Chains A and B, each alone.
Chain A
Amino acid sequence: MSNEQKASVLQGTLDLMVLLTLATLGPMHGYAISARIEQVSKGAIQLKMGTLYPGLLRLAQRGLISAQWDRTETHRRARYYSITAAGRRQLKTEKMEWARMTAIMEALALEGDAG
């Protein structure tokens, strides 16, 4: 998969991945989010800063996550993101939608395999 293809896959699902990560692991800074996503995807998804940070900002502007400056364990300043109540509600609906979509896709794929 080329970088561009990866990016286009990411566009729609980045929001969902970020929300999921923050909902599971609690407040994190941007780098940790990208490292987590990279680790979970076994390196298949590598987020460039130019994709990640505008995405985080967009989620913050929509009120789905909030951002706060804080210190890391090594006492360095970093911006920590955490999911808001609105974010959790949104995540719930998006997860359901995602499940519905994957079910449809699977059904289609099975049919395709059968034929």
Chain B
Amino acid sequence: MKFRLVEWWRRWWETFRHRDDGEAEEELRFHLEMAEEDALRRGEDVREARLRAGGVAQAAEEVRDQRTIRWLGDFLRDIRHGIRLLRRSPVFSAAAIVSLALGIGANTAIFSLIDAVMLRMMPVHEPEQLVQFRRDVSYPLFRQFGQELRCFTDMFAQSSMGRRDVVFDGEPEAVSAELVSGNYYSMLGVVPYVGLVFYPEMDMKPAPVAVISYAYWQRRFGSDPGVIGRSFRWNGRGFMFIGVTPPEFHGVIPGKAPEVTLPLSMAGEILDGSGWFTSDSRFWLQVMGRLRAGHTIERAQAEVTTNYSRVIRAEAEHYKSNEFRRQHILAQQMLLEAAGNGFDVLRSRFSEPLQLLMGTVALILLIACANLANLLLGRATTRRREIAVRLAMGAGRGRILRQMLAEGMLLASIAGVLGVLLAWWSANALVVMMSNGGEPIALNLRPDLRVLVFAAVISVVACLLFSLAPAIQATGKGIQPGLAEARLGAGWRWGRGLIAAQVAISAVLLIGAGLFGRTLLRLYTVEAGFQREDVVLISVKTDRSGLQGHALRERILESLRSMPGVLSASFEMSPLSYKGWEISVNVEGYTYGPNEDDLVHVSYIAEDYFQTLRTPVIVGREFNGRDTATSPMAVVVNEAFARRYFHGQSPVGKWVNFKGDPERMEIVGLAKDIRSRSLRGDIPAALYVAAAQASRPPSGVYILRGAGIAGIVDSALKRVDAKLRATDVRTLDESLSRSILQQRMLGTLSGLFGVLSLVLVSVGVYGVMAFQVARRQKEIGVRMALGARPIQVIGMVLRETAVPVGAGVGIGLVSASGLTRVAENMLYGVSPTDPVSFAGAGGLLLVLTFVAAYLPSRRAARLSPVETLRCE
């Protein structure tokens, strides 16, 4: 066996050395001469001896086959031949490689996102045993699960805290932080890169220690091992670094890479409020368990369901009087999900759009392949004579097919490498787009083996797709017609089919782009009820300020209003969202039906609220400085409220009161409906109450109007109290675009891909028609010599394009009308069969492909007949 290996290695080596020094032939000639001499000496027939020894040429061929690896040598020769061909027509090569690289790159980019968001397993011990609980749980429930569930060997809890301030030396800096139970690292099997990590006993004995991520250690501390033992302050509490996690570990939530983890047992000391460990209605922990070996997730689910039903039955006991609420609680389920790739945060948000985009880019690749097939088909037709000659000289058909495939492989592999680079760069750009100004999504996008294999596979598939048709077409016809030089328009049948397919695919993509683009447009132009420009939303951390309550809010608003550039300022509990409170109300002159919903949305706002948002107050007034704790209670309602309770008549002057609170509140104003930040969905009946009249001062967000004023916020706050700090300053624009992120992502990317497909199709049609026209120069020359006018020549070419393009558009429109339903719930205000998008896509394709066909036809029509005839 060893000898075989050595033999193969030598042959492999010889193949690449690519040298034929003629020694074999010398040896063979010597052999023949010796045989002849021997025969002469023995008086035998020389010719007989020569025949017995065999031919030199044939033997030399057999020696060569033994010396090298034939198929490999052929392959290398084919590649060299391919490189020569590519270099001979650089424009063709560049166009082919670029369009293919775009196709492969787009596919690889989307796939690497899918890989990072949905597929990639965490680098932890046996990730396939990990299971997540789909609902957040309370600490007591986490402990109960840990003690009672037998299906799990272990179970950890964690809670993300987003970005929090810590102090190392002097100034506070923001880090992304996470609280984890003591067994977090041991259960995951993550060992420290430097120092120590937490251990299970910490849950019982809280210790002020912290573990930092490798990336943070590198970035903030320059990988200094001396950082172990250093301390920092969090909320006034001292903590000590005890270790660094390994570089490949990015936490358990894809897209979130916590920089600092703290023991869960410290939650009581660093989080505001109380009852973190005792309250069974504070659901703040995400839980992941490790299945006992041999247990399936279904078995665990059965056990969890039994256990959890006891929990919710006990909880439902508290709501005996409220049947609706009781049923709601009893309907709750605790579902499990495999979590080897981490907690599901991005998955549910992005898996649908990503899958849709994957389909889109696959179609782009198909178009690129069709383009290449068409171009190669054209070239194969011109090379027909060469191929026919080679077939006639005895080259095997397989050999010629292999040669053409090698050329295709060459194109595909260059494009594949470029595509991976392109994907790497663009996937990062996509992630920036996905995080969109919010907390950055930290996805590990380094191309891993799976992504590279994916890129290689699609390159090979693409190569087969685009080089097989021309290859079969070129060799299939045999020698005769090839040598006789193909009839006019040979290969045109394939070409027409490919154009039709391309146009159809592009039509689908363009319709998709149209639908998502119009969705986006609808969202941007929807009657929002406010003006989004020049509004800034500010969250303020107030807990260490001397002033508190109503007085603090008044002082902050006063200070903000006094800053230059600020046109107006106000405050709302949770601006532009209807996520706040729902309260039952009684309304003057309105009697509820037996089962009618009596809840309305209630929000506390400060004075000048509607002015700041530029929301028209239709009747009456909004709150002003005279609405104070001592003045009569006043409220403002929105149009939805007026429609519901007053059937469109003016509500101003009527009263409302909260059920259970007899104090009547007078409606002093009717404001226009305001859409929530998602811009979608119905607008609920809303009641606005003056913050100054709230019995407990509400917490909330400050709203400023004025151009370019984000920078003044800190100094305005400092003037009130040096300990006040803005934790979040964001323009309303940013906030809105984040809330319509999915639509923006789909709108932008599908538009981009639609345009890309259009470019590819136009280039394809242009290339094919230019080639057809060039081949038919002689025929065109004859026609023109016989009196055909240029316009007739142009018409002839255009008519030929019209058939495949028309068919393609038709097929595209029909298939799109079936396909767009898939995306229905990602659309807004646009029907999946939106006629504008359909007509637009069809029209755009018709116009552009006709332009693409017109250019070569005009060139043909301009040639003088004499010249074209002389060419032949």
* Partner-B contacts on A (CB < 8 A): 29-31, 34-35, 46, 48-51, 53-54, 57-58, 61-64, 69, 76-79, 86, 90
- How far does the Cβ of A77 sit from chain B's closest Cβ, in whole Å? 7
- How far does the Cβ of B637 sit from chain A's closest Cβ, in whole Å? 95
Contact indicator B30/A77 (Cβ below 8 Å)? yes
Contact indicator A53/B11 (Cβ below 8 Å)? no
Contact indicator A77/B59 (Cβ below 8 Å)? no
**Of B3, B6, B27, B58, which contacts A50 at CB under 8 A?**
B58
Alpha-carbon distance between A45 and B30 when the two chains are bound, in angstroms: 20
A-binding segment of B31-39, B255-263, B558-566, B714-722: B31-39
Q: A62-B4, A62-B6 are in contact. Are A49 and B30 (CB under 8 A)?
A: no
**Of A53, A62, A64, which contacts B28 at CB under 8 A?**
A53
Contact indicator B7/A62 (Cβ below 8 Å)? yes
Contact indicator A49/B6 (Cβ below 8 Å)? no
- How far does the Cβ of B727 sit from chain A's closest Cβ, in whole Å? 75
Q: B61 — which chain A residues lie within 8 A by C-beta? A: 50
19 extra interface residue pairs, beta carbon distance < 8 Å, beyond A51-B62, A53-B59, A61-B11: A30-B27, A30-B31, A31-B30, A31-B34, A48-B53, A49-B32, A49-B55, A49-B59, A50-B58, A50-B59, A50-B62, A53-B28, A54-B62, A61-B10, A62-B4, A64-B3, A69-B23, A79-B23, A90-B3
Q: Provide a sorted-by-A list of 11 A–B residue pairs whose CB atoms are within 8 angstroms.
A: A46-B52, A48-B59, A50-B62, A53-B24, A54-B63, A61-B11, A62-B7, A77-B30, A79-B23, A79-B27, A86-B3
**Of B3, B26, B31, B58, which contacts A62 at CB under 8 A?**
B3
Contact indicator B31/A31 (Cβ below 8 Å)? yes
Q: Is the C-beta of B95 less than 8 angstroms from some C-beta in chain A?
A: no
Q: Mark B1-16, 1 if CB is under 8 A from A, else 0.
A: 0011011001100000
Q: Is the C-beta of B385 less than 8 angstroms from some C-beta in chain A?
A: no
Which residues 36-60 of B have a CB within 8 angstroms of A?
A: 38, 52-56, 58-59
Tally of contact residues, B, Cβ under 8 A:
30
Alpha-carbon distance between A48 and B35 when the two chains are bound, in angstroms: 11
- How far does the Cβ of A52 sit from chain B's closest Cβ, in whole Å? 8
Contact indicator B62/A61 (Cβ below 8 Å)? no
Choose among A50, A63, A64, A78 the residue with the greatest number of B CB atoms under 10 Å from its CB.
A50
Chain B: interface secondary structure? helix
- How far does the Cβ of B59 sit from chain A's closest Cβ, in whole Å? 4
Q: A49 — which chain B residues lie within 8 A by C-beta? A: 28, 31-32, 53-56, 59
Q: A46-B52, A48-B52, A49-B59 are in contact. Are A57 and B6 (CB under 8 A)?
A: no
Q: A86 — which chain B residues lie within 8 A by C-beta? A: 3
Q: A34 — which chain B residues lie within 8 A by C-beta? A: 31
Contact indicator B66/A54 (Cβ below 8 Å)? yes
Q: A53-B24, A61-B10, A90-B3 are in contact. Are A48 and B54 (CB under 8 A)?
A: yes
- How far does the Cβ of A78 sit from chain B's closest Cβ, in whole Å? 5
Q: Is the C-beta of B67 less than 8 angstroms from some C-beta in chain A?
A: yes
Contact indicator B30/A53 (Cβ below 8 Å)? no
9 closest pairs, A vs B, by CB? Answer: A49-B59, A62-B3, A48-B54, A54-B66, A50-B59, A31-B34, A61-B7, A61-B10, A50-B62
- How far does the Cβ of B9 sit from chain A's closest Cβ, in whole Å? 9
Q: Mark B173-185, 1 if CB is under 8 A from A, else 0.
A: 0000000000000
Q: Is the C-beta of B582 less than 8 angstroms from some C-beta in chain A?
A: no
Contact indicator A29/B30 (Cβ below 8 Å)? yes
Alpha-carbon distance between A30 and B231 when the two chains are bound, in angstroms: 84
Q: A76 — which chain B residues lie within 8 A by C-beta? A: 30
Contact indicator A63/B6 (Cβ below 8 Å)? yes
Alpha-carbon distance between A95 and B69 when the two chains are bound, in angstroms: 30
Q: B56 — which chain A residues lie within 8 A by C-beta? A: 49
Q: A61 — which chain B residues lie within 8 A by C-beta? A: 6-7, 10-11, 66
Q: A63 — which chain B residues lie within 8 A by C-beta? A: 3, 6
Q: Is the C-beta of B65 less than 8 angstroms from some C-beta in chain A?
A: yes
- How far does the Cβ of B482 sit from chain A's closest Cβ, in whole Å? 33
- How far does the Cβ of A5 sit from chain B's closest Cβ, in whole Å? 16
Q: Mark B229-269, 1 if CB is under 8 A from A, else 0.
A: 00000000000000000000000000000000000000000
Q: A46 — which chain B residues lie within 8 A by C-beta? A: 52
Closest to A53 in B: B63
Closest to A74 in B: B37
Alpha-carbon distance between A86 and B34 when the two chains are bound, in angstroms: 30
Contact indicator A77/B3 (Cβ below 8 Å)? no
Alpha-carbon distance between A91 and B164 when the two chains are bound, in angstroms: 78
Q: B35 — which chain A residues lie within 8 A by C-beta? A: 31
Contact indicator A57/B67 (Cβ below 8 Å)? yes
Q: B24 — which chain A residues lie within 8 A by C-beta? A: 53
Q: A31 — which chain B residues lie within 8 A by C-beta? A: 30-31, 34-35
Alpha-carbon distance between A57 and B3 when the two chains are bound, in angstroms: 13
Closest to A60 in B: B10
Alpha-carbon distance between A44 and B32 when the two chains are bound, in angstroms: 20
Contact indicator B53/A54 (Cβ below 8 Å)? no
- How far does the Cβ of A53 sit from chain B's closest Cβ, in whole Å? 5
Q: B55 — which chain A residues lie within 8 A by C-beta? A: 49-50
Contact indicator A35/B10 (Cβ below 8 Å)? no
Alpha-carbon distance between A53 and B67 when the two chains are bound, in angstroms: 10
Contact indicator B63/A57 (Cβ below 8 Å)? yes
Closest to B33 in A: A76
Q: A62-B6, A64-B3 are in contact. Are A77 and B26 (CB under 8 A)?
A: yes
Alpha-carbon distance between A34 and B54 when the two chains are bound, in angstroms: 13
- How far does the Cβ of B400 sit from chain A's closest Cβ, in whole Å? 26
Alpha-carbon distance between A3 and B473 when the two chains are bound, in angstroms: 42
Alpha-carbon distance between A76 and B62 when the two chains are bound, in angstroms: 24
- How far does the Cβ of A16 sit from chain B's closest Cβ, in whole Å? 13
- How far does the Cβ of B127 sit from chain A's closest Cβ, in whole Å? 47
Closest to B58 in A: A50
Closest to A3 in B: B52
Choose among A51, A58, A69 the residue with the greatest number of B CB atoms under 10 Å from its CB.
A58
Contact indicator A50/B23 (Cβ below 8 Å)? no
Closest to B26 in A: A77
Alpha-carbon distance between A76 and B4 when the two chains are bound, in angstroms: 33
